[in-house]
Amino acid sequence: MNTGDWLKEVVPDDAQTEANRKTAGHVMRLVSKEAGKYPDVVGVELGGSYAKGTWLAGETDIDVFVKFGRGVPDERFRRVSREIGFDSMVDYNPGERYADHPYVEAAVDGTVVNVVPCYDVELGEWKSAADRSPHHTRLMRERLTENQRNDVRLLKRFLKVRGIYGAQIAVQGFSGYAAEVIILHFGGFEGAVREMANIKLGATIGKSARKFDTPVAIMDPIDENRNLAAAISNRNMGLFVLGCRELAYNPEASPFDARSSASSVGWDNVAVVKFGRGDENSEIIWGQARRAASAMARQMELGGFTIIRHKVLVDDERVCLLFLTESVRIPERVVRVGPDVLRQADAAKFAESEGMVWVSPEMRLLRVEKRAHHTAGALLRHILRDPGRAGIPAGLHHHIRRGASVTVGGRIAQSIKEEAAELVSADEAVFYAARRAGE
Amino acid sequence: MNTGDWLKEVVPDDAQTEANRKTAGHVMRLVSKEAGKYPDVVGVELGGSYAKGTWLAGETDIDVFVKFGRGVPDERFRRVSREIGFDSMVDYNPGERYADHPYVEAAVDGTVVNVVPCYDVELGEWKSAADRSPHHTRLMRERLTENQRNDVRLLKRFLKVRGIYGAQIAVQGFSGYAAEVIILHFGGFEGAVREMANIKLGATIGKSARKFDTPVAIMDPIDENRNLAAAISNRNMGLFVLGCRELAYNPEASPFDARSSASSVGWDNVAVVKFGRGDENSEIIWGQARRAASAMARQMELGGFTIIRHKVLVDDERVCLLFLTESVRIPERVVRVGPDVLRQADAAKFAESEGMVWVSPEMRLLRVEKRAHHTAGALLRHILRDPGRAGIPAGLHHHIRRGASVTVGGRIAQSIKEEAAELVSADEAVFYAARRAGE
């Protein structure tokens, strides 16, 4: 692997580094000044990829953590951190954002700045979701070598190009911290790629207190009960492994090129469900929409359709659930193969259901049933009439009841087709990588 | 069961019996006279259902067996028996027929008479297929009581009404001898029905020297290596068992009423292959046509179609193969589900085939393939272009090459629809019988 050449693309140059250093110092002063007004605050420190030296060239975020004493009540924790964030960033267009709890985002000299509250606690005594971050920062600062920091950058770019970087639910990919853990564990980018190319089902990266049900577990080095891969979809883990195989076995492969696929099944066999949304937190809507898509895909499979993939699009106004099927139209009748006639109790049970029964040439009972719905559109409309029964999260029911549309094949809007183009494109890298890996 | 009432319907009255007795005596005299001219013939005797007293009222066949010494060569056996048959029946419109070997058929006073040659051999030393018959006749004459003979008649009618009486390949049902063996084994009609209603997979009726692969074995009492059920299709065995359940569990059921079914899937999903035939023996054509239908059904299943039943029609001029499918039109694309991405060797093997590959939400490889044929008509035409590859018996190839037609759904000729109406009708009795049996 030409890791040396590749690194040049991802390591920030001196001018960038110097500019970031200045911005970070400026922000720290502003936040510290405001934080000093509150006795609840026990410290302010830089965190995230900037503090760990693993940020990607041209894509710096500066995270400032405001640390509270562990006795501060939740309500005050939220209110004070909000005041510190808005007051310190008053000149930089501050706004409230939400992860597990609210934080303040601003833009300083073109750099995104996040002012994030957390509790100052010992390992394992977590009170809020961000409490681990200062510990993560300390660990990576201490343990990552200079070369490894750059290898983290390369890995992040590799993930980003493949659309699998980011732990947010809209992506369900690898967090920056997961990338750092992978590099730390395998010692570098090349080692990580070669090992991940050959990783076995059920493998655990790091030290784990128990067994996790993800195909591969990525353990948080500061918490042997926390599996970072829990936030990564299985599909994305699969794409990562295939990407690693490609890079490991194809001398012409590049971490910066995910080979956009020329193969596509086209939109004929896609069904789209669209409905409006409210002003709920986007992370929440994304989570609900993903669960809805999974639940509806399961119902469609039960109804006789084969779902190749499903995908969710969420913007400020609407939610789209996209289903790529083997076919949006299936035969009207379905044959259920029952037991051998001579298996008497089973045969009696089988004959209880509605439908015409035949005796097959092999002496089995066959029931011919008329499907309730033989087009994906009809089945989806049916599912949407009773969203609870299908397992669609309750938070979406009123949006769906206010009006959900179902569109199939050629009638899908061009804008959706453009936004979700990857849905219908084959995962091309699979071919080369999967083939070579077996040689 | 009202066996008493039912028996009245099947036992011939005195006038019939007397008429048969006269015809049989007359025929025996005619055949014996001709047979006396040949020293190769060691005896002439009555056989079949008449001799055993198990013929059905109004449906007597009289079988006369001409027994040859075991040293007579095959060629002479055939020639002499043919001469005896034609000469003795000269006034009764004799004609040659074929089972395993040729015999002569004639019509005497409205009764069908068969003059059949066989070798006079000891048990197990069979030379021709008919050699067992005199032994069968002797056994049933000795062992069946008067009541059991009438119960055989009732069972034969029961089988006949259900379309499963007759060992010829066009029917693949129960021979008269099999019906006798069943009554002899279970002691009577009611016992046979009750036992067969509850028979288990793998059961053997009688004494067997080895294991047979029919769902139920019916052993020939004079040959523990001969399974009479080998000539019975599994479907017909299934229909028999279901018929027995109906009679055993439904107090209103009658052995004379097979409940013609009101339920039908219609002809939309039927495909018919038609081609001409030559003047080959019909039994041979039937056998080839059945094997062809099975082979083609298998190919259609491999091609993604679901075959509910297939059926063969043969007349003097043509062969029709009928296929009842779940749908004659299936989706153009098919998704093959492959291994988990992390099962590296399997994944590599899976990716070798043609087609677009996806990574599923569950991290499995999926291949989307375009089917070669997505209508039953197109696939059947494809199969017929290379009949050998599909496993169609060689004897039919030239008939198919001379021109085979494929017709689907609405365009199927009315005459075929009438002749094969039962193909699309559900096996109605299944419902009641199968349900009750499980209570």
Q: Which residue from B minimizes the CA distance to A311? A: B361
Verify that A83 and A209 share a domain, yes or no: no
Count of domains forming chain B:
4
Beta strands in B155-206 (DSSP E): 203-205
Taking only the tens place, the pLDDT of each residue in A337-373 is 889 989 888 888 887 776 788 888 888 988 888 899 9
Verify that B74 and B119 share a domain, yes or no: yes
Domain boundary among B141, B163, B178: B141
Verify that A122 and A159 share a domain, yes or no: no
- B359 with A263: Cβ contact below 8 A: no
The CA distance from A5 to the nearest CA of chain B, in Å, is: 29
The identity of residue B252, as a single letter, is: E
Verify that A276 and A416 share a domain, yes or no: yes
Q: Which of A56-60, A87-91, B144-148, B304-308 has the lowest mean pLDDT?
A: A56-60
Of B395 and A264, the one with more pLDDT: B395
The CA distance from B202 to the nearest CA of chain A, in Å, is: 9
* C-alpha to C-alpha distance for B382 and B271, rounded to whole angstroms: 14
- A368 with B426: Cβ contact below 8 A: yes
Chain B residues near residue A235 by CB distance under 8 angstroms: 359-363
Verify that A87 and A128 share a domain, yes or no: yes
The CA distance from A344 to the nearest CA of chain B, in Å, is: 7
- 8 A C-beta contact, residue A109 and residue A24: no
pLDDT score of A439 more than 50? no
Verify that B357 and B309 share a domain, yes or no: no
Closest alpha carbon to A62 in A96, A110, A99: A110
- State the complex-level ipTM: 0.79
Residue A1 lies in a domain: no
The CA distance from B327 to the nearest CA of chain A, in Å, is: 6
Residue B338 lies in a domain: yes
| Identity of the residue in B239, B269, B347 whose CB atom sits nearest the CB atom of A359 | B239
Q: Which residue from B minimizes the CA distance to A327? A: B331
Taking only the tens place, the pLDDT of each residue in B275-320 is 999 888 888 899 999 999 999 999 999 999 999 989 999 998 999 9
pLDDT score of A437 more than 70? no
Residue B77 lies in a domain: yes
Distance of CA B95 to the CA centre of its chain: 24
Chain B residues near residue A428 by CB distance under 8 angstroms: 357
- B340 with A263: Cβ contact below 8 A: no
The CA distance from B425 to the nearest CA of chain A, in Å, is: 8
Domain boundary among A118, A141, A164: A141
| Identity of the residue in B245, B345, B356 whose CB atom sits nearest the CB atom of A426 | B356
Verify that A111 and A23 share a domain, yes or no: yes
Domain extent for B182? 146-258
Chain B residues near residue A348 by CB distance under 8 angstroms: 434-439
CATH code at A137? 3.30.460.10
Residue A435 lies in a domain: no
- 8 A C-beta contact, residue B275 and residue B399: yes
- A309 with B352: Cβ contact below 8 A: no
Residue A19 lies in a domain: yes
| Identity of the residue in B237, B245, B310 whose CB atom sits nearest the CB atom of A363 | B237
- B426 with A357: Cβ contact below 8 A: yes
Domain boundary among A141, A172, A202: A141
Residue A121 lies in a domain: yes
Verify that B300 and B217 share a domain, yes or no: no
Specify the residue for token string 């052993």: B219
| Identity of the residue in A269, A331, A430 whose CB atom sits nearest the CB atom of B330 | A331
The CA distance from B369 to the nearest CA of chain A, in Å, is: 9
Q: How many CA atoms lie within 13 A of A340 on its CB side?
A: 13
Q: Which residue from A minimizes the CA distance to B346? A: A438
Q: Along chain B (439 residues), what's the average pLDDT of each consecutive run of 10 residues?
A: 87 90 95 95 94 88 94 94 96 88 90 95 90 95 96 96 89 95 97 95 92 94 94 93 89 77 78 92 89 95 92 92 94 90 86 79 87 96 94 94 92 87 74 52
CATH code at B401? 3.30.70.590
Verify that B316 and B351 share a domain, yes or no: no
Predicted confidence at residue B195, as pLDDT, reads 96
Predicted confidence at residue A438, as pLDDT, reads 47
Verify that B77 and B221 share a domain, yes or no: no
- A363 with B330: Cβ contact below 8 A: no
Chain A residues near residue B436 by CB distance under 8 angstroms: 348
pLDDT score of A430 more than 80? no
Predicted confidence at residue B439, as pLDDT, reads 46
Chain A residues near residue B369 by CB distance under 8 angstroms: none
Give the DSSP letter of residue B123: T
Chain A residues near residue B336 by CB distance under 8 angstroms: none
Percentage of chain A with pLDDT > 70? 96
Query: Nearest 5°: phi and psi at A345?
Result: -65, -45
CATH code at A156? 1.10.1410.30
Of B386 and A168, the one with more pLDDT: B386
In DSSP notation, A337-370 reads: EEEETT-HHHHHHHTTSSSEEEE-TTSEEEEEEE
Verify that A405 and A274 share a domain, yes or no: yes
Mean pLDDT computed over every residue of chain A = 90
Helices (H), A214-370: 234-249, 282-302, 344-350
Chain B residues near residue A297 by CB distance under 8 angstroms: 361
Predicted confidence at residue B418, as pLDDT, reads 86
Measured CA to CA in angstroms, residue A134 lies from A121, A129, A140, A166, B145 at distances of: 10, 11, 10, 19, 98
Residue B100 lies in a domain: yes
| Identity of the residue in A237, A357, A431 whose CB atom sits nearest the CB atom of B351 | A431
Verify that A203 and A341 share a domain, yes or no: no
Residue A65 lies in a domain: yes
Taking only the tens place, the pLDDT of each residue in A1-45 is 888 889 988 899 898 899 999 999 999 999 999 999 999 999 999
**The B95-98 sheet, strands edge to edge:** B41-47, B61-68, B111-119, B102-108, B95-98
Other C-beta atoms closer than 10 Å to the C-beta of A142 total: 7
